[in-house]
Amino acid sequence: MPTEAKFPQGFLWGAATSAYQIEGAWNEDGKGPSIWDTFSHMPGKIRDGSNGDVACDHYHRWREDVALMKELGLKAYRFSVSWPRVLPQGRGPINPKGLDFYDRLVDALLAAGIEPFLTLYHWDLPQALQDLGGWANRDVAHYFADYAAVLVRRLGDRVRWWATHNEPWVVAWLGHGLGEHAPGLRNLKVALQVAHNLLLSHGLAVDVLRDGGKDARVGIILNLSPIHPASAKPEDVQTAQQVDGFYNRWFLDPLFRGSYPADVWALFATQGLLPHVTPGDMAQMARRVDFLGINYYTRAVVAHDPEAEFGVRYVHVEGSTYTEMGWEVYPQGLYELLVRLHREYKIPALLVTENGAAFPDAFTPEGRVHDANRKDYLRAHFLAAHRALQEGVPLLGYFVWSLLDNFEWAYGYTKRFGLIYVDFPTQRRILKDSALWYQQVIAENAVVS
């Protein structure tokens, strides 16, 4: 007998992308440069020496891409807006052609019956604002709110779902602490100030979006992972708590409890890393949101190790499967996370805003991509989400990362996450087997076995 995991009516099945990863047209129609243009053009920063100058050429092929979304039956599409395409200097004069691009995209999505889900910031800060100090400069939080106002004024009559930031942890730590992402700084104290300013900018933008959007549903997107100790030894357990604090709670607590987690605050204090907090900031950050978006890929298993960086060793789990990113396949972690967020933080609504896997794909002479591993990955994670739903977790939707193979940041084009294969030299798109399977899941609103 086939069993089926049926999802609630109106469940938002979607796919996600981000501007810099797919658009290309990096210097066309009046767009200003972003920190990712600068960074990717610096030798040695991107693994395959590539950049997002062309990427998936979505800026020119958006019609075709929306048609593919329609063919898949997507209920929603999560994309981000390139801030410097709309405001080349980050503030001040608007670039009308940039704004028009998103306006047309939104109209095409609605005409195809697809709900637009807009992310304001997916990492491509206008270079002009970086020249003023970037996110380390508190003024940029206010420029971000002004940018939000520009978009909601133009699109607020049609776009209902608004996310302020994508993964502020990554922006702060990979961009400013470890230097792996733009702007490439390596300063932990700056990273923490950036994290603070990002959360502040989120809160400022929430107010703006609420004022401007007719029926706006406003939220933020975090990368979250369960952090498990490698053993029951007290030092491993303590390490797991600290990593959870620094990775998950440092963002969740200000947003949903109005304060930084005391244990991590104390730890950062001993290292002289604390951010400067102005009175009123914590209340601004904790503005009510309508949803939290969760980007989930894997868990972390950690052990205490004084020799390792920050005293933390990330442990490889014997017997587990790993994706091409080196990330453990651990669907149970999604269930665990959703239940925890529901119980501990009482968040009104949750969406999985990214989940997916990179595997080394190839297309056959018949033009097929047999990515059974990706299908299995998605299936197991959909079922984990379904279990959470059955326990009363208010999960409203699920976006697969990604619609298209694309520019995977510091990895360049070496990692393919798409449901749709992109042959970059020709820009040909091919629906992978996982996409055809997903099409069926959406049509039936169920995972059938």
In this chain, which stretch among 40-48, 55-63, 153-161, 164-172 interacts with ligand FCB, using CB under 6 A?
Answer: 164-172
In this chain, which stretch among 48-56, 138-146, 166-174, 440-448 interacts with ligand FCB, using CB under 6 A?
Answer: 166-174
Based on the shown chain and the rule CB under 6 A, indicate whether residue 223 belongs to the binding site for ligand FCB.
yes
Question: Which residues are 351's β-sheet partners?
Answer: 293, 397
Q: What is the rounded CA–CA span in Å between residue 55 and residue 58?
A: 8
> What is the per-residue binding string for ligand FCB in 417-436, x denoting contact by CB under 6 A?
x-------------------
Signed CA dihedral, 106, 112, 117, 122: sign only: negative
In this chain, which stretch among 58-66, 132-140, 165-173, 300-308 interacts with ligand FCB, using CB under 6 A?
Answer: 165-173
Find the shortest distance in angstroms from Cβ 398 to ligand FCB: 15
Contact (CB, 8 A) for 417 and 357: yes
Contact (CB, 8 A) for 419 and 402: yes
Tokens of 285: 């950050």
Based on the shown chain and the rule CB under 6 A, indicate whether residue 143 belongs to the binding site for ligand FCB.
no
Contact (CB, 8 A) for 90 and 129: yes
Q: Which is nearer to ligand FCB, 284 or 353 (CB)?
A: 353
Tell which positions 236-295 bind ligand FCB, by CB under 6 A. 295
Q: Which is nearer to ligand FCB, 181 or 429 (CB)?
A: 181
Q: Which of 23, 336, 354, 408 is catalytic?
A: 354
Find the shortest distance in angstroms from Cβ 166 to ligand FCB: 5
Alpha helices in 275-356 (DSSP H): 281-285, 332-345
Q: What is the rounded CA–CA span in Å between residue 260 and residue 180?
A: 25
Q: Which is nearer to ligand FCB, 127 or 166 (CB)?
A: 166
Angle between helices 139-155 and 96-111 (to 10 degrees): 50
Element (DSSP H or E) covering residue 16: strand 12-16
Tell which positions 113-132 bind ligand FCB, by CB under 6 A. none
- Interface pick for ligand FCB out of 23, 57, 167, 336 (rule CB under 6 A): 167
Contact (CB, 8 A) for 123 and 179: no
Find the shortest distance in angstroms from Cβ 374 to ligand FCB: 13
Contact (CB, 8 A) for 94 and 87: yes
- Interface pick for ligand FCB out of 23, 124, 281, 354 (rule CB under 6 A): 354
In b/e form, how buried is each residue of 361-400, taking b as 16+ CB within 10 angstroms?
beeeeeeebebebbbbbbbebbebbbbbbeeebbbbbbbb
In this chain, which stretch among 200-208, 271-279, 370-378, 401-409 interacts with ligand FCB, using CB under 6 A?
Answer: 401-409
Find the shortest distance in angstroms from Cβ 223 to ligand FCB: 5
Length of the chain, in residues: 449
Q: Which is nearer to ligand FCB, 236 or 405 (CB)?
A: 405
Q: What is the rounded CA–CA span in Å between residue 443 and residue 440?
A: 5
Q: Which of 167, 328, 336, 408 is catalytic?
A: 167
In this chain, which stretch among 45-53, 162-170, 194-202, 276-284 interacts with ligand FCB, using CB under 6 A?
Answer: 162-170
Whether 167 is catalytic is: yes
| Residues at the interface with ligand FCB (CB under 6 A) | 18, 21, 166-167, 170, 223, 295, 354, 401, 408-409, 417
Catalytic positions = 167, 354
